[in-house]
Structure 1
Amino acid sequence: MSLTASLDASTVTVTPGEETTLPLQILNSGRTVEEYHFEVVGTCAAWSAMEPAVLSLYPGDSGTVSLVMRPPREATVLAGESTFGIRVMPTGDRSDTVVPEGRVTVLPFTETTAELVPRGSNGSRSGRHQFAVDNRGNTPVTVRLGAQPGTEQARVVFAASELRIEPGHAEFAKLRVRPAKRMWRGTPVTHAFQVFAAPQPPEGEEAPAPVLVDGSYQQDPILPRWLPRALLTAALLLLVLVGLWYALLRPAVKSAAREAVTPEAVRSAAAADKSKAPEEGEPGGAGSGGGDSAGAGTGGGSASPTPSPGPSASGGSGGGGDAASGAPTSAQARVQDAVGGGPNTGTALQVPAGHTFQLTDIVVQNPQGDAGTVTVTAGEDTRVLSLGLENFRDSDYHFVTPILVPAGGKVTMTIDCRRVGKPVGAPAPSRCSSSMFLGGTMRTDSAG
């Protein structure tokens, strides 16, 4: 072999970002002039070079070339020890190639950066952020996380107190900013704070300065600013609706109710009066008196029955003399009826044989406020009154010309219940209930 190559040192230590030179001695022990080429092999080949790259030697001469190592200060150049070699190749005889070897140690370095995502947050109860820490060094690093609040009005809480980050990687830590006091309403308040990432150095090395990042949290009120206005608007709208009801709708409902009830009551009373007049044979008698009383009864509903006139009160009419010679007589009946069960009839008075009853006064009462119809008949199915229960509570009728009920005839009251009323301050009844009081004179018929 005509080539000898040797390194001045078998090991070398390099610092990322700096340049290191290692000499290589070359001896041409051959008999001819030779040109040598050099090639670095190993993990350091990407950032190493030979200077000069080509060397020519005469026989018996020796020369020196340098291995220049320039490791970049990047995370791709990992800290630690590795082997390398320098391939020395003669131009004339390739088989005479030699590869001296050595070991290189890359020193570690620490470099970290950090970012707060997002930089500012807002909320009524808390703000949420992520703290991103990037390891740009060439060795794994453990960073301690913490915060420095700008004021005592907010507190920063990390989900994890430490992060271990591999070279060339980034890790994220979640954090929340909580206000010291809740704010129900008012102007939003901004709280400034700082978070830091402090790398932990290897034993025996000085700790690098922590990385500080500024952030802010805007505390919003719990109750939105538009809520009081919305509540005030809703209250005003409610007052307007109530005013419209009392001013417009309620009077209209009352008026419609009166218009629906009063004409029906008047027509039913007039029909009852007309049906009695032909049967008695006296025009303008009982029908006229009953019609006037019916109008008074349905229009206002007297609070108590009107006192029946005595015998002398009816003496001015055509039948007054007969009425005066009879005995004053009164009777009453109370009838109950269930809804949907058909009409129910009660008898107030039955005229005994040899007598004639002169009916002059009728008082009907509907104390429960039931709804339905009430019919008063006298004699052979002579309809005296036909009323709607819902149109009155108390109603009285007085006839100037008495209604004659012959011997054996009955005065009855029939109820057909449609709806049971609800008395105020009393239990709800199960059936309709109405009563009738009648007055007149019982006359003895003459034998002839």
Structure 2
Amino acid sequence: MGATTSMASAQLSVTPGESIEANVLVRNNGTLVDQFSLDIVGDAREWVEVVPRVMNLMPGQDGTATVTFSPPRDSSVLAGPVPFGVRVLSREEPAGSSVEEGVVEVAAFTDLQVELSPKSSKCRSKAVHEVVVDNAGNHPVGVELVTIDPEEQLRLTLDHTSLMVQPGTSAFLKLRAKPYDRFLRGKERRHPFQVTATSADLPPTTVNGTVVQEQLLPKWLLPAAIAAVALAGVLAVLWFTMVKPTVQTAAREEAREQAQEMQGEMMDMANQAEEKAAEAEESAAEAEKKAAEAADTVAEVGGGGAGAARGATTSPEGVNIASGSTVDFRITTDVAAAPDPEAFEPFGVPEGVIPADKTLVVTDIIMQNPRGDNGTLRILRGEDVLLEAGLANFRDLDYHFLEPWTFAPDAPLTVEVSCQTPGAPEPADGDCGPAVSFSGRLSGPTEGG
């Protein structure tokens, strides 16, 4: 009993950026008035729409839904066959639900772009450019690259001349341009060149570039050399006529004064050496005393244990969340299907798991929805919602927290579930039954908290 479905054509073809429609016939084979929900399963569900999504049928009555396929014209949908399924869910007889399968052939399209960066460069002996080949189509494209130097003044070298560019990706190639001739001085020389990309599916694409060749000698070098020679001549004349005689006389007088000063300094240094030797003995004794005191202090500090070195991590409520006894438990649910998506049924922590004077510190959670129920699951601290997830979005989902969740006695942990449609195979009671496992610690207030 339940529903039967059929599609006029299970083999379809569509061009990206365009749409194609197909009709699905739904028949109520049951003995009760039933409501059927329609949706799409498979990789095509992101760009397939079914109208209507819900239909009510009398026993033996047929209904028709329109399925529209509209793949986007970009590289996110690859060319080729894409299987899909139109799923029809019965509210009265979920076990009688059905899936009509088919295949839609997505046509290939090509969108190849070629860029050159930079378009113009300056050099004395060698320039480097980058060729970017971007495949914005939905299938791999083989590309051949050819460099053209119309004036035959450059030696052009590419990393690769043949490549295969996958859809939605870009290939980056180094292009080295080296002029055949170089010159020491003269005006700049402009050398144009081209890079052409050819593909079997597209006409050739050409980008233009220019290498501006400069003289080997920097323009500032010759004026700087002339200025340096002139300055050296001026300094030589000043040295021999004025500076050298004055320096010689001053040097002799300075030498006599320094000799006298050195004799006095040597006597002072001898006296200071004796005084410093005595001070060094006193400093050594004092250093030994301080080292002994420091060793005693280190021993006292080290006696605090590793916990004192690490310190305690405390929550704003004064709870030590870095220590305590480990705990793990599981909250299971059993919720009847309800048409109101805001109808949530709460489930608390099993009795006896958390003592009344302890705070629960949660570090890991695992949410399980093995039957694929459809609805919403929420995790609350008191009346505050910490996490909300659609049941249809997961079968097994785990979270590991760098900063744990804390649940004080006055703000307990609660799991709420809103059941829309039980999963398959449906249990005998027709209810949703997701579960959440929690791991963490039981902690009390910190010392002095």
Q: Normalised by the size of structure 1, how large is the TM-score? A: 0.49
Q: Normalised by the size of structure 2, how large is the TM-score? A: 0.49
The structure with the larger Rg is: 1
